[in-house]
Structure 1
Amino acid sequence: MTLLDLTPRAATTNRSSTLPVAIIGAGPIGLAAAANLVERGIDFVVLEAGDEVAASVRAWGHTRLFSPWKHLVDPASRRLLQERGWELPDPERAPTGTELVEKYVAPLADVEPIASRVRTGVHVLGVTREGMDRTRTRGRAATPFAVRIRTSDGTVEEIAARAVIDASGTYLSPNSLSSSGLELLGMGEISEAVTPALPDVLGHDRGRFAGRRATVVGAGHSAANTLLGLVELARQEPGTSITWLIRNAQAVRVSASTDDELADRARLGSRVDQAVADGLIDVLDGFEIIRGRRTSEAVELVGHRNGEVVAHATDVVVNATGFRPDLDILREIRLELDEIVEAPKRLAPLIDPNVHSCGTVEPHGFRELTHPEQDFFIVGMKSYGRAPTFLLATGYEQVRSVTAWLAGDTASAANVELVLPATGVCSTDLGDGGGCCS
C-alpha cells in the first residue's frame, strides 16, 4: 500500500495538482473514497456536517440492516483496517446501523492518515471554481475548486481543491409530505408534530409515540420498519394507534414478494402485510396530502381521496416519503442531471426504478458519474437522485473507479466490476449508503 507523502511537492505549472481532493460527507461512501485515495497516494480532506462521522447513519442506528457484514465493507477500507489488526465481524450476521458505525465506520475514520484529514462540524455552503461562476469557460479545467464552508464556531472560509467528490447522501433532505413535491402548506403549524424517517419508537423516541395516534406517511421500507416498531409499541402501551398513509392504492415496494432478492426484506413485507390483515395497522390509501393544520385537539393532514377533500386527524406524523439530493450547494457547478430522477444523466437509465431493482443495477464508475465540470463527481446515495434504491457495494465501486481516474489510471477506472451473490446488497430509502436494508 502507498501511504500519503506529506513532504512539500515540487511546483508545477498546474497548481491544482498540488491540492487535496475535497470529499463531502464522512459516511461509509465518503470514507471509502478516502481509503482509496490513501492507496493511490493522493492527498484529501473529508468535510462532515455532523459532529461525528457517519452522523446520518447514527440517526437511524437502532435499525437493523438487511444484509450481513460480508457485503457491507469497502475492499480498500478493509485492507487499510486489517493492516492495523482489525477483524471483520461475523460475516453472516446483519448489523444495526449503530454496529456498522461502531465496528467499522468509526474505526476506519480513526486510522491514519484518514483521521487527521476528517473535519467534523463543517457545513459545505457551496462549491465553485476559484474566481469563476458557472458561466466562465476559459481555463476552467485548470482552475482549482473553491469549497466554501462554515465551521462549528460560525467561521466561513474556503478550501482549495484539485477535485471534489460529493458523498453527502440524501438523508438530510427528505421529500415533502405534500404530494406536489413542494413544501407542505401549513407545515409551520404542524412541524413540531412531524418526525424524520426511522424514529426510535421503542427507545429514544418512545415517549413521543406511546399512547398516541401515530401516522406513518410513505410506501418504502423505512415506513415498514417504523410501522413494525409501532406495532410492538402498541402491544406494550395501550392507546397507541397506527395509521399507514400512502399516496397510491397499495405499497408495492413494501408488500412481500416471493422473488425478493433479500430474504430479510421479504420477511419485512410479510410482517407488515400480516399486521395490516390483523387490524393492527389502519391503511389510508389513495391519499394525496395537500396541507397540514393544527386544531385544538389534533394535527390534521388534509388531502384528496376518492375525488373528495378529506382530513385525517393524528397526534404525530412520521415523514417516511423518501429523500432527494440537495443541489443548492452545487449551483455554480456545471452538472448534467436526468430531468426526472436528478441523477447523473448517464447513470439515470441504469437505475430507473420503473425498470430496475437494487439487484439489477449494472456496475458503473467514473464514466457514468462524469459531469461537464471536470474532476467533479457525485457518488453514493446522492448519485441516485430521487431513485429509491441504492446498492452499497455499488457505491464502493463508484469511488474506486473515480479515485483511479483521478490518479490517472484510466484502465482501472474503466474496469468496473461488482461480484455479489444472488441476494445482492441493497439499501433503500436512506442516504450515504446506509439504510435499513443495506
Structure 2
Amino acid sequence: MFDLDRWREIFQTINKNKLRTLLAGFTVTLGILIFTILFGMGNGLKNTFYESFQDDAQNTIFISPRSTSKPFKGFKENRRIEFENEDLEFLKEKFADRLEHITARVFKGVSAKYKNEYGSYDVRAVHPSHQYLEQTETFKGRYINQNDIRTDARVAVIGRLVEKDLFGDKDAVGEYFSMNKIVYRVIGVFKDEGSGDREERTIYTPVSTTQRIYKNTERIDQINLMYDMSIGANGARKLSKEIEKELKKRHNIAPSDRSALRINNKIEDLEETLQFASLLQIIVIVIGIGTLLAGVIGISNIMVYIVKERTKELGIRKALGAKPSSVIGMILQETVVITLLFGYIGLVIGNFILNSMGDKLKDWFITNPNVSQGTIIGATIILVISGLIAGYIPARRAAKVKPIVALRDE
C-alpha cells in the first residue's frame, strides 16, 4: 500500500491518460455532488420543520370548548360548552404534580388609539404563566404579573409592531392608550420574531381585567397548560386523555363525544411532523444513494475498459513474476485514488452550492440546507468501499489472464 514505486506509477498512469481519468472521475464527482445536494436539501427541510416549532414551548396542551354532538344526561346535542375560572383552578389542583404552568385565554378584537394614531388588533387576556408557553420575550418593561390579576389592573403588554404603529419611535412603556375607548397603561413591549408580523401585532392584558370589563363574567375561551417534560411523550398523551375525561365529567359530555372539546397536544404535532420530515429525508437519501451507485457503476465500466486496454502490460508483469495479488492491488489502488480524488471534488462543490443557497429556499420550506461532518466522513467511506467493489471485478479478471494470452492481445 505504501510502496513508493507503485504510487509513482499510479500517478504517472493517471497523468498519461488524462481523458480516461476524467471520464472515470466525472461519474463519481457527479454522483457524490447530487448525493450531497439532495442530503443537504433533506436536512434543510427538517430544519424548517424544527424551526416552525421553536417559537412556542413543545410541552404544551391547548384545550378549547366547542359544541356537543351527542345528547347526554338529559342535555341535548349541539349544546355549547363554556369554560370558566373554576375549570382552570380544577385542572390546576387535579394535575398539580404534572403541571409547570397553566393559563386561561380570552380573545378579543379591539380598536386601539394613541393620540392621532389608530389600529385594529387582537387582544389575548391571559395569566402571567402565558409568557412561558409562548416563550414571549419582553424586551421593554415587564410582563403581566399576579398583582395585575389580583387588582384587575388596566395594563397591557404590546407587540413590537403595535408600538411601531401607534407610538412611532417613542418608547411606549408608561404611556396610556385606549382600546375600545377604555384607557390602559403600557407596561411592556414584547417581540416574537419566529411567528411573523401577526404575533407582534398582538396585545396581552390581565385575564381578570378583561373579564370584569366585558360583561363582568368568569368565562374563558381557552385553557393552556405546560406539563413537566419528565413525563415523556407517552405521559403527555396519557395526561391529555385524563384531562379530557375529567372535563367531560364536569360538563356532562358523553364519553364518546369527540366534538365537544378540542385538545391539542403539541408533542403529537411535533412527532407527526418530524416523522413526515424523516420519511422525506429517507426518500431523498435513497435517491441520493441510487445516484451514487450509478456513479460507481460508471467507474466500474470504465475500469473494465482500462484493464482491457492494459492487458498486454499486465501480461508482461505476470511474465516477469508479478503475483495475481499484486496486479489486483495495483488496479484497486488506482481505483481508490480516482474515487477519493473526484469524490472529494464532488463533496466540495456540493457543500459550496449548499452554503451559497443559505436561506434563499425558505419559500420552498428549505432552511439552511447543510451536510454534517459525520455525513461527509460516511460518504467518503462509502466512496472508498464502492470504489474497491467497482475495481475488484475487472482487477480479478485481469489477474486470471495467462501471460501468453495477454502478450498476444492486440
TM-score range, shorter chain: under 0.3
Q: Which has the larger radius of gyration?
A: 2
- Normalised by the length of structure 2, the TM-score is 0.21
- Looking at both structures, which has the greater relative contact order when contacts are Cα pairs under 8 Å and sequence separation is at least 6? 2
- Normalised by the length of structure 1, the TM-score is 0.20
